[in-house]
Amino acid sequence: MNRPDVMTSFTTGLADINLDETDGRRAGAQAAAMKSASSSIYDMAATLSGRGELWNWGMCDPDLAAEIEARLPGFAEFGTDGFSEQLYYLALRDLPGGLDGCAGQTLVEVGCGAGEGLNFLSRLVPDTRMTGLDLSPRAVARANATLARGDNLRFVQGDAEDLPFEDSSVDLLINIESSHTYPDLDRFLREVARVLRPGGALSHIDVFTRQRLQTMRRITAELPQLTWATDHDVSAAVRAAVRRRMTPGSRFRRTLDRQRMNPLVRTIATHSQILMFGGMFAGYRPPASIRALSRLGVVPWMSGLPMESYRHQVAVRV
């Protein structure tokens, strides 16, 4: 499958999953096609992206940034704008035991990408044994080659809907901006319940369409193994981060500007990156040049999914 076909399959699959009005389950060839496209997309991202680049849409919360700064002075001064880190920090801070309660625990991140987020967390809570799992073989290979540190930080390839971990073997599981790509959300959450130890916790952070949020709430109501402790809407802080990244002169824009490309390619690349990292969610509207190129068929029109909220949810295994 060539790159345009992969992109088409991925975006079509995303729309099908997140606009579904039925039970939120996809299986068979339809699910396999989405997973194949998703794996290919993140294989490409792992190959093309640089160290320390953006991992997610990020969030902008001065209080969170100050808390991280107190633990890791200067964390946002070199190679990062600090917004992606804040989402990862939130994932642990709001667990029942907080960051300090992670010491000596086993933590799994499902959907770890190239591992930068988990690597950041390993600096915050160095006594925690961490494993990252991702569908993309290339992302896992890169993470193991550049970040792995024995049993303290390792990465494995696997499927979120069929986790390669034993029953009741994990203390903490985090899932950040990933589950909206899963064809069967119910199956993923049941796998989470299976691998968590009693008293273990899930920290789930993701963006939702209206339909996907309804599906999430229906599934959680029907899953007695997990007690949902919190459900916070963090949309405002996420939109703030995305808007700051879209601003000319931001680290995000300067990184794009340093790349050597002609003006037309730069316009398309900037548009694509803004869409990928939450632009439509934060009110971005493509410039006239992109709209004109779309009418000419030079660049596909990508309006983005109608994502309505970005939420942080915590569940405890009964």
Do 17 and 34 contact (CB within 8 A), yes or no? yes
Q: What does the block give as tokens for 207? A: 């963006």
Say yes or no to pLDDT of 2 above 60. Answer: no
Q: What confidence tier does 225 reach under pLDDT thresholds 50, 70, 90? A: very high
Distance CA 287, CA 212 (A): 29
Say yes or no to pLDDT of 302 above 60. Answer: no
- Placement of tokens 């990928």 in the chain: 276
Q: What confidence tier does 74 reach under pLDDT thresholds 50, 70, 90? A: very high
Q: What confidence tier does 3 reach under pLDDT thresholds 50, 70, 90? A: low
DSSP state of 159: B
* pLDDT (0 to 100) of residue 51: 63
Provide the b/e sequence for 54-74 (b: ≥16 CB within 10 Å): bbbbbbbbeebbebbeeeeee
Distance CA 22, CA 16 (A): 11
Distance CA 18, CA 216 (A): 11
Do 89 and 64 contact (CB within 8 A), yes or no? yes
Q: Which of 3-12, 53-62, 100-109 has the highest mean pLDDT?
A: 100-109
- Give the pLDDT confidence of 149-174 residue by residue, as tens digits: 999 999 999 999 999 999 999 999 99
State the average pLDDT for the chain: 91
Do 98 and 316 contact (CB within 8 A), yes or no? no
* pLDDT (0 to 100) of residue 142: 95
pTM comes to 0.94
* pLDDT (0 to 100) of residue 55: 84
Q: What does the block give as tokens for 261? A: 């490309």
Amino acid identity at 15: A
